[in-house]
Amino acid sequence: MSAVAATSWSQTPWTAAVAGLPDLDLLWNEPLSRHTTFRVGAPVACLAQPRSIAALQTLIGRLRHEGIPHFLLGAGSNLLASDEPWDGVAIQLGLCCGGIHLEPPRSGADTNLLRVGAGAKLARLLRFSVQRGLGGFEPLVGIPGTVGGAVVMNAGTQDGSITDVLDAVTIMETTGDPREVPKSRLEIGYRSVTLPEGSLILEASFSVKPTDPRHIRSKLRDAMKRRRATQPLGWPSAGCIFKNPPGQSAGALIERAGLKGLRCGDAEISSRHANWIINLGQASSRDVLTLVQIAEERVFEAFGVRLEREIRVLAG
């Protein structure tokens, strides 16, 4: 993914190349602030929503052939978009890859296979799991995002991660062809899953155990109670800004550096959880990024620890 300088989109040479593609919903000059949980971000030239896998294949092929900058936009829950317009295409998969399908029980198996499109929201997956009595997704309660983004980030909490129940992913390779990759062939790390270069996730399959819905609901309630007590869930944010260094807590390091409650404009390092930066109303991307950089510098100066970002920064 690359960022290019802002330009007048009426003169963007690639507009016609995208506008003429079939089975594709397009939003022009769409503010990214409407599509990120930080609620910040200037417009992207084009937001594309393919209505089928074939349309997605055609779109990706055209963008790559024409050299048009593009990126996948899930729920925008780990994205800090720039204050400057982005001259490229953001792609959302909710229309073409938003399904949830439970396979028939496998003979002799104590688990079921659940296939979920990359564009499906985690909240919808959790509701489905409760309704059908499928355990394993409880650690994801309250985490915004899509299934594809959650897999790539290996989203989770202290109670577990999404890859704990992952069975395989179906990816679209650079050729446009789909291919299923079993979990054993993936490089899974803390808050990361490495995919083949240039590929994207179309679908994830999960091995889940039939579980009493009452037990699932109880675990979800307990998890949300803990989150509400320790995290500023009522404010726009991207959740944790940094990954935890090995054996340490990023939030604790930031707090020990004396940064809890520090503000820049309408952005604040949360006084409830120092690894969260919240938007108090009209924060800019620059406000947030300034606090991110201050945290990185102060923690390194005080403890010699280089914090690794969990969020992505989209330059303008």
pLDDT digits (tens, 9 = 90+) for 18-69: 988 999 999 999 999 999 999 999 999 999 999 999 999 999 999 999 999 9
Range of the domain at 60: 9-91
Do 242 and 170 lie in a common domain?
Answer: no
Do 129 and 154 lie in a common domain?
Answer: yes
Give, in order, the Cα–Cα distances in Å from 113 to each of 97, 99, 159, 193, 279. Answer: 17, 14, 22, 20, 39
Final residue of a structural domain among 184, 216, 248: 216
Do 120 and 52 lie in a common domain?
Answer: no
214-240: burial string, b at 16+ Cβ within 10 Å, e else: eebeebbeebeeeeeeebbbebbbbbb
DSSP state, 133?
A: T
pLDDT at 286 over 70: yes
Q: What is the pLDDT of residues 131-151, one digit of tens each?
A: 999 999 999 999 999 999 999
Final residue of a structural domain among 51, 66, 91: 91
Final residue of a structural domain among 63, 91, 119: 91
Do 243 and 283 lie in a common domain?
Answer: yes
CATH of the domain at 140: 3.30.465.10
Q: What is the pLDDT of residues 246-283, one digit of tens each?
A: 999 999 999 999 999 999 999 999 999 999 999 999 99
Do 208 and 112 lie in a common domain?
Answer: yes
DSSP state, 242?
A: B
pLDDT at 6: 37
Task: Please check whether residue 113 is in contact with residue 180, taking contact to mean a CB–CB distance below 8 angstroms.
Answer: no
Give, in order, the Cα–Cα distances in Å from 253 to each of 46, 247, 282, 298, 300. Answer: 39, 12, 27, 9, 10
The structural domain count of the chain equals: 3
Do 82 and 106 lie in a common domain?
Answer: no
Q: What is the pLDDT of residues 79-129, one digit of tens each?
A: 999 999 999 999 999 999 999 999 988 777 788 999 999 999 999 999 999
The residues carrying an active-site annotation are 191, 240, 310
The answer as to whether 224 is a domain residue is no
Do 51 and 134 lie in a common domain?
Answer: no
Do 86 and 144 lie in a common domain?
Answer: no
Asked whether the whole model's pTM tops 0.75, one would answer yes
The answer as to whether 2 is a domain residue is no
21-25: which pairs have CB atoms within 8 A and are 24 or more residues apart?
21/55, 21/58, 21/59, 21/62, 22/55, 22/58, 23/50, 23/51, 23/52, 23/54, 23/55, 24/48, 24/49, 24/50, 24/51, 24/55, 24/59, 25/49, 25/50, 25/51, 25/95
Do 201 and 267 lie in a common domain?
Answer: no
pLDDT at 294 over 80: yes
The answer as to whether 4 is a domain residue is no
